[in-house]
A and B are shown apart, each in its own frame.
Chain A
Amino acid sequence: MAAIFQGVGAAATLSSSPSNSFVPKKFLTSPRRSFCVRKVPSSVVVRSDGSVNFDLNSKSRRAQQLVANAVATKADSSAASSSSNPGHELLLFEALREGLEEEMERDPCVCVMGEDVGHYGGSYKVTKDLAKKFGDLRVLDTPIAENSFTGMGIGAAMTGLRPVVEGMNMGFLLLAFNQISNNCGMLHYTSGGQFTIPIVIRGPGGVGRQLGAEHSQRLESYFQSIPGIQMVACSTPYNAKGLMKAAIRSENPVILFEHVLLYNLKERIPDEDYICNLEEAEMVRPGEHVTILTYSRMRYHVMQAAKTLVNKGYDPEVIDIRSLKPFDLYTIGNSVKKTHRVVIVEECMRTGGIGASLTAAITENFNDYLDAPIMCLSSQDVPTPYAGTLEEWTVVQPAQIVTAVEQLCQ
């Protein structure tokens, strides 16, 4: 079983220790190197349009280059793509901080509120040193009162500020559900459009490394029905920074889902200003045989499975949906029309998760293009157990993805 991540928090390291036999040992990466999947030792191509291409062989690379440009998201490709600009390397939590810092410099109304965001720098260091730079009022350490400080953020947003509210762990935002559902989502409508709520609510969620049930929740499934909010999930340093900036600039309330285990991903990102479109999905790996839709951490399980699948002769198309609400039906639809087979891989529970909604949306819109029923791989409807082995079996693992694709494509 490939244990891709170990440890949590700022000290988390990223390593890949595959257990299935045909993955050569050279795929073991040392902690500080970026996660990559490769057959031959060529570099990971992080394209300026944001897609990460896994360089398998020169022929498919060329094909990828052509295809990647065709499906590149508009906002991403608007970022300067001059090859003379080397960009800079950083970790995902640093990318989030960079995005936040740039927006705070750009607009003095942008402020941060949350527990331990100020002097402590954030429990995952996303707001490190921001309080020193911007002051205690702009990076506000709140008491432990999620419902009230989220409501406070909403009141501040209604009266002209642009707060970024951090939930120390997304699960804690369950306490803020009243404010998020009633006020965040609805006030623009019930006030007849008089008040906008340009708030960003962000924080780490998802299943970590033996964090226990309450710290391993996936709140995207609970919040998805709330009208009036948008939900996005970041998965790479590039889209983390881009989505953070886009979310802050958006006039709508946006919930940005980060993942506890992804904070130490390293990537080279452009130096220049860019945003990632909030409503668009990201083409990770173009392919022909099957569409795999995923988001957040499961993207990496999928890419690991993709490696295996390619070896077995399959050509999966991997899309990181990024926008959990609303779905980018264009990118998804184009893919379905091409491959006619869909596998959804998510970390949400089976019942009422993002995958369930996505299955419904695809069936409604693209049923005629499907050659087989949609396969949705979700976590088990189980409170995440503490024991490592049990925890592994609650979430979807690469081997399961491989099996699902093989089943679907036979």
Chain B
Amino acid sequence: MATAFSAAKFTAQPFPLNPASTTSHDSSIVFAKPTSLFLGSTRKLRLTSYSKFNLSRRSGTVDAVSDVVKQKKSKSSPSLLITKEEGLELYEDLVLGRAFEDMCAQMYYRGKMFGFVHLYNGQEAVSTGFIKLLKQQDSVVSTYRDHVHALSKGVPARAVMSELFGKTTGCCRGQGGSMHMFSREHNVLGGFAFIGEGIPVATGAAFTSKYKREVLKEADCDHVTLAFFGDGTCNNGQFFECLNMAALWKLPIVFVVENNLWAIGMSHLRATSDPHIYKKGPAFGMPGIHVDGMDVLKVREVAKEAIGRARRGEGPTLVECETYRFRGHSLADPDELRDPAEKAHYAARDPITALKKYLIENSLASEAELKTIEKKIDEVVEDAVEFADESPVPARSQLLENVFADPKGFGIGPDGRYRCEDPKFTEGTAHV
């Protein structure tokens, strides 16, 4: 616990928002214009303080990456942050997320999918930065803005698109939809429509990991769970309750806040007494980190630390990623409240453009290679749409399947047989 508290001390210092302000409870911050706070953010990844945190860890393992970065930064050439291979992998994932979501918008307006569709444009760095560090057995829990989390985790684009079209070949057989992406194979535990309700589920998955190690004696079980959610969720009780439990039992979980400043039309600053979400971590005994969520490399560095902590059994971390969604809350949102200047500011920090620039400037990839990737992704997405289009819609017989894992749960009918044995049942015409 000493470790967490030393980290807590670190993050308890006010994070300077601009050179002039030093106290975080300054009322001028709360009542400032919504956009002034984060426009031209001066937040940088606090590598110096962060590495202090590393060194003060009692576990004995010192993660050298941050020190390396610190050294490199002083030489102002941090080109060793990623290898070429990693760079291309990251780029491909970012582009896949963007292209997929853009296609979703097109398909929605063409009437191929309905309901509430929440697109992730602009936030790709968070998904790619975190999820590309995971193993297959690690779990991801998300919210309704979950298409790209599922894609990053490895769910095929075909399966996600089919699910959105409501076809039986979708990852959830068409029964979940946009807001309920699940994959047992890739350990995507959802996809939740109510904000906050995924966080306890993620905590449970982390609990299982700890249980497997300590009770079932699977010594090498170091599965980590990532819980993604937004700024609005950080005012919800389940968030705080789970921060408490995760820290209490040192669960292998990382709480990733995708702070895009807006909960539909509610500005984060209008909804939150202390808008610095990362500060809420130390209040519960875990480190709270703030990172520039538009920069995939910075996110990745922080993610490495946080996931490493969890894997080593040191407990949870709260990571606040400052990010932005380029589109409205959902495809039904007219997006009238946000200041165009704010949108323009973040559009200039597009994660894909930033990574592209980085790769080219550091000679990790050529324009041509990146173009090839973009073309490949275009084909993947086109193929996904074709596949989804051609897939069958669910038959009536699917209606009553999967309600219960054990269909005996439908009970015993008047004739003494279990209702699920009734042929009308398998046809889907029985009335339950």
Contact = CB atoms under 8 A, between A and B. Distances in A.
Interface residues of B, number: 62
B403 interface: yes
12 contacts: A109-B216, A147-B200, A151-B201, A158-B189, A158-B205, A159-B139, A159-B205, A178-B197, A189-B403, A192-B175, A192-B402, A365-B414
Contacts of B204: 151-159
Interface stretch (A29-37, A138-146, A310-318, A395-403): A138-146
Contacts of A188: 402-405
Contacts of B203: 148, 151-152, 155
B410 interface: yes
Contacts of A228: 403-404, 409
B68 interface: no
A227 B200 contact: no
A135 B215 contact: yes
A248 B59 CA distance: 39
Contacts of A182: 192-194, 197
Interface of A: 108-109, 111, 135, 137-138, 142-143, 145, 147-161, 178-179, 182-183, 187-198, 227-228, 230, 250-252, 278-280, 323, 325-331, 333, 365-366
Contact of B189 (A111, A142, A153, A159): A159
A143 B202 contact: no
A44 to B, nearest CB: 28
Nearest to A362: B414
Contact of B241 (A138, A145, A325, A326): A145
A196 B405 contact: yes
A137 B215 contact: yes
Nearest to B172: A192
B180 interface: yes
B184 to A, nearest CB: 4
Given A148-B245, A188-B405, A191-B176, A326 B197 contact: no
Contact of A328 (B173, B404, B412): B412
B200 A151 contact: yes
Interface string B172-193: 1111110010111000011111
A161 B200 contact: no
B409 A252 contact: yes
The 10 nearest A-B residue pairs measured at CB: A155-B204, A151-B200, A326-B411, A192-B173, A191-B182, A192-B172, A148-B241, A155-B201, A145-B241, A193-B402
Contacts of B235: none
A175 to B, nearest CB: 9
A279 B408 contact: yes
A323 B411 contact: yes
A159 B208 CA distance: 7
Nearest to B210: A137
Contacts of A160: 208, 212
Given A152-B242, A159-B189, 6 more contacts: A154-B200, A190-B191, A192-B175, A193-B405, A194-B182, A326-B409
Nearest to A250: B406
Contact of A333 (B194, B237, B242, B414): B414
Interface of B: 139, 141, 170-177, 180, 182-184, 189-194, 197, 199-212, 214-216, 237-238, 241-242, 244-245, 248, 401-406, 408-416, 418-419
B161 to A, nearest CB: 15
B412 A195 contact: no
B402 A111 contact: no
Nearest to B251: A152
Contacts of A145: 237, 241, 244-245
Contacts of B173: 192-193
A119 B410 CA distance: 38
Contacts of B248: 143
Contacts of B244: 143, 145
Contacts of B242: 148, 152
A194 B241 contact: no
A254 to B, nearest CB: 9
Which of B194, B209, B409 has the most chain A CB within a 10 Å cutoff?
B409
B402 A330 contact: no
B201 A154 contact: yes
A354 B258 CA distance: 43
A210 B389 CA distance: 62
Contacts of B193: 182
